[in-house]
């Protein structure tokens, strides 16, 4: 299945490793994650091209037919430049547009101010993975029904992928307390994708995230034999400066269209 966008190509790779079902429907790709039905970006349509004038309603109907029980709408566009559709038309339909920067690195440099007080290691125990759930809820709070259940299901999926040998989940710890985490996963094709770089609010600004990303990157180039590392980042959030300082460069723009559950 040919996907132009490196961001979505690696998204689909990781989703498939985690048990999602990815189906080619010609002018779009259908992604289903039956074990986590409220996971927006595990249950979505990836459109092969930008939405033309007057086509949005039709795609919303396709989504509704494909996911009749879904309360959300999630549409991706397989492009590299962030083109989608007239934003007024999106707003009128209640859709939100998000553009992310797809970043890549073929080598990295150490952080200018590394954190040396934390312990950096893989998540390995039940307690480590339970702490990851708490970290995710603290770092990315959302007032949505069923949000904690979604997080638990997603982290269980991440753990299963790690335990199947497709990479590692890394943590920064202080006296046994998980401060920051990220995943680095691969199918062995030479590309490794970062997932969910996050730090507890009270631990930010201490160089932990940059040290953790660098530690994982060195592991990716070494143990995973990756030639290219991929990171998808919010272009408006300060973390993107951390990735650039380590040697990551923006190469594409990934676009997501969402309509939350009412």
Long-range interactions of 157-162: CB distance < 8 A, separation 24+: 157/18, 157/19, 157/35, 157/36, 158/18, 158/183, 158/195, 158/196, 159/123, 159/129, 160/18, 160/19, 161/14, 161/17, 161/18, 161/185, 162/123
Q: Would you say residue 262 has pLDDT above 80?
A: no
Whole-angstrom distance, CA of residue 154 vs CA of residue 194: 15
Give the pLDDT score at 212: 98
- Vertex 67 angle, CA 99 and 9, to 5°: 40
E strands along the chain, which residues? 21-24, 28-32, 44-47, 73-77, 96-105, 119-122, 167-174, 177-186, 191-199, 228-233, 249-259
Query: pLDDT averaged over the chain?
Result: 94
Per-domain residue ranges for the chain?
6-100, 119-246
Cα radius of gyration rounded to whole Å, the chain: 18
- The sheet with strand 167-174 has its strands ordered as 21-24, 28-32, 44-47, 73-77, 249-259, 96-105, 228-233, 191-199, 177-186, 167-174, 119-122
Whole-angstrom distance, CA of residue 262 vs CA of residue 248: 37
Confidence of residue 202 (pLDDT cuts 50, 70, 90): very high
**CATH class entry, domain 119-246:** alpha beta
Give the pLDDT score at 177: 98
Give the pLDDT score at 143: 83
pLDDT tens readout for residues 80-121? 887 766 788 888 889 999 999 999 999 999 999 999 999 999
Contact 187, 196 (CB under 8 A): no
Whole-angstrom distance, CA of residue 49 vs CA of residue 3: 11
Total-model pTM: 0.93
Whole-angstrom distance, CA of residue 195 vs CA of residue 185: 8
């Amino acid at each position: 299945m040919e996907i132009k966008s490196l961001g979505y190509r690696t998204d689909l790779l990781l989703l498939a490793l985690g048990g999602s079902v990815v189906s080619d429907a010609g002018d779009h790709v259908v992604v289903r994650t039956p074990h986590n039905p409220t996971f927006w970006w595990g249950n979505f349509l990836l459109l092969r091209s930008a939405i033309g004038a007057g086509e949005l309603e039709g795609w919303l109907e396709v989504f509704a037919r494909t996911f009749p029980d879904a309360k959300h709408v999630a549409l991706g566009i397989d492009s590299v430049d962030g083109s989608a559709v007239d934003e007024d038309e999106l707003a009128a339909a209640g859709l939100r547009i998000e553009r992310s920067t797809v970043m890549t690195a073929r080598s990295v440099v150490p952080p200018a101010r590394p954190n040396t007080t934390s312990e950096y290691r893989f998540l390995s125990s039940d307690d480590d993975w339970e702490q990851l759930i708490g970290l995710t809820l603290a770092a990315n709070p959302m007032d949505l029904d069923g949000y904690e259940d979604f997080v638990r299901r997603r982290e269980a999926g991440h753990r299963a992928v790690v335990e199947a040998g497709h990479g590692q989940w890394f943590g920064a710890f202080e006296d046994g307390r998980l401060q920051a985490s990220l995943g680095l996963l691969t199918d062995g094709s030479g590309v490794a994708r970062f997932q969910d770089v996050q730090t507890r609010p009270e631990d930010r600004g201490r160089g932990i995230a940059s040290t953790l990303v660098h530690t994982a990157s060195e592991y990716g180039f070494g143990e995973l034999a990756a030639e290219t590392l991929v990171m998808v980042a919010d272009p408006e959030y300060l973390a993107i400066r951390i990735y650039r300082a380590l040697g990551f460069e923006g190469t594409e723009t990934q676009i997501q269209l969402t309509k939350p559950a009412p």
